[in-house]
Chain A
């Protein structure tokens, strides 16, 4: 089946800065496709080129079979966009935000209003029709952004960091809605900092670093390839003591940065149990899941430069 978005040798340059330095990717229809990377990796720039907000410098970019440079208006009509910064109109109510946005797509008043009410239901904001944006929580705003991106019933939905800054519950609710949309047959392209999010939502993803795509694959493949599932961070005295301990195969990789020892392993709880069995349970530690940053350390072999 024909890809929904196709990029070949896509670049974007701002003066001397090359934000995107030649990327190739193809987004298959009816999938969730993720772009992972730290700030400045070129994810947002790539998204902006896809939704025709900025023009590419060179390369090819086709969205829904149309050249992004030639038919931006037609592309905009058929896609939905959730930009990174919440950009809801603070002087309008939730309902007015949606209705007005629908009208920008040439949808008549009655249809726009019906569609807006449907979408408020979809994102679980019924009863908030007349609320001003400032009275909504961060999670509600983000959901409203998603609803707004759906007013024109788009074939492709682009979401630039849809859950950044949300608390876990709000994030879960957004994930649930995105799952629903994908199961309804929409194609989703999203960017994220969170490996966990990508693993949960995306069938396929690319990791970007310094304007290039570093690797591409299914999330499980990538985590298995480039990082362990869990990370145990040990600091203080124990770090030195535990640095050379060997537990055959349980610790996949270890790294020391300053006073902190990072142990990459499959299951933190199992690892901590082993330590306590050995009577060397670390006093000060943080047990967490492996994140994009950890994959990064593996992929680039160095620390993150923010």
Chain B
């Protein structure tokens, strides 16, 4: 409960402000790198590979992948920043240490990080949305609701990234999380291909993948096909956030308590 109230504390927003100030110093390169790379894959797969096939019931591959890649972009930028960045803030340059020496509570640090990652997902996601809109791949005004879904995606991916960063002994171990968790689950999240011809067990695993639900929602918003099944996706995201958000906080408290 206290963790939830922390979102409304001024110091949660000061932690957010800290990250914003830091980000502003390299905003251009960060935006460029985080957009150009997924966009290169998107172009190669969507237009290159997509030229040879259409997906039964989904149309062109490029149309299928456009909203998927928006979610992929948001997830990537948050995952890296929340893990690599917060590891440094905890272990290398005393950023968190300085905060708790001032009257900032660990739950305000966690809340501030979540707010920042939500914002980050919205920024990078919207940039990608803008690009696919230019390609004529956005078909509904419902796409204007994307920021809300992007913010949820941001927090959803900030939670495990932050948690892993608080747990690992060395920064390089973060690659275990990237390679063994993030990448494989991304492959079955419906970014690159539909899942309905996949084996049942794979679809079950996909259902437990955060990005799967996020991408469902993005696709529905971009194509204007929002339905009740998407309510389940949104509920999945909300519940997972509420249930899991406390995990990194507990570990952070422990790390800052010695």
Contacts and interface: CB of A to CB of B under 8 A. Distances in A.
Interface of A: 14, 51, 53-54, 73, 76-77, 81, 83, 85-92, 96, 100-101, 103-106, 132, 148
Contact of B11 (A81, A88, A91, A104): A104
In the A-B complex, the 6 residue pairs with the smallest Cβ-Cβ separation, listed nearest first, are A87-B94, A91-B22, A104-B102, A76-B103, A87-B98, A103-B14
A103 B94 CA distance: 18
Nearest to B85: A91
Contact of B22 (A73, A86, A88, A92): A92
Nearest to B98: A87
A73 B25 contact: no
B20 to A, nearest CB: 10
Given A91-B25, A105-B103, 6 more contacts: A81-B101, A85-B94, A87-B94, A103-B10, A103-B17, A104-B103
A53 B18 contact: no
Nearest to A145: B98
11 contacts: A14-B258, A76-B101, A76-B103, A87-B97, A88-B93, A88-B98, A91-B21, A92-B18, A92-B21, A100-B14, A103-B17
A154 B124 CA distance: 41
Contacts of A91: 21-22, 25
Nearest to A51: B101
B100 interface: yes
A96 B21 CA distance: 8
A89 B97 CA distance: 10
A73 B94 contact: no
Given A100-B17, A100-B21, A103-B17, A83 B11 contact: no
Contact of A83 (B21, B101, B258): B101
Interface string B67-104: 00000000000000000000000000111011111111
B interface secondary structure, majority: helix
Nearest to B100: A53
Interface of B: 10-11, 14, 17-18, 21-22, 25, 93-95, 97-105, 257-258
Contact of B102 (A14, A76, A88, A92): A76
A92 B94 CA distance: 13
A132 B24 CA distance: 13
Contacts of B98: 83, 87-89, 101, 148
A243 B244 CA distance: 72
Residue in A14, A51, A54, A100 with the greatest tally of chain B CB atoms within 10 Å: A100
Contacts of A90: 93
A100 B21 CA distance: 10
A14 B21 CA distance: 37
Residue in B11, B102, B104, B258 with the greatest tally of chain A CB atoms within 10 Å: B102
Contacts of A83: 94, 97-98, 101
Nearest to B101: A81
A81 B21 CA distance: 23
B87 to A, nearest CB: 14
Nearest to B11: A104
Given A83-B94, A85-B94, A100 B103 contact: no
A142 B49 CA distance: 57
A90 B14 CA distance: 17
Given A89-B18, A92-B18, A105 B97 contact: no
B64 to A, nearest CB: 39
Contact of B10 (A85, A96, A106): A106
A54 B258 contact: yes
Nearest to A86: B94
Contact of B14 (A77, A88, A92, A104): A104
Contact of B103 (A77, A85, A86, A87): A77
B12 to A, nearest CB: 11
A104 B104 CA distance: 7
Nearest to B14: A103
A53 B101 contact: yes
A86 B14 CA distance: 21
A148 B17 CA distance: 17
A100 B18 contact: yes
A104 B94 contact: no
A89 B104 contact: no
A261 B61 CA distance: 85
Given A83-B94, A89-B98, A92-B22, A73 B17 contact: no
B23 to A, nearest CB: 8
A277 B12 CA distance: 72
A77 B25 CA distance: 30
Nearest to A158: B101
Contacts of A88: 93-94, 98
Contacts of B95: 87, 89
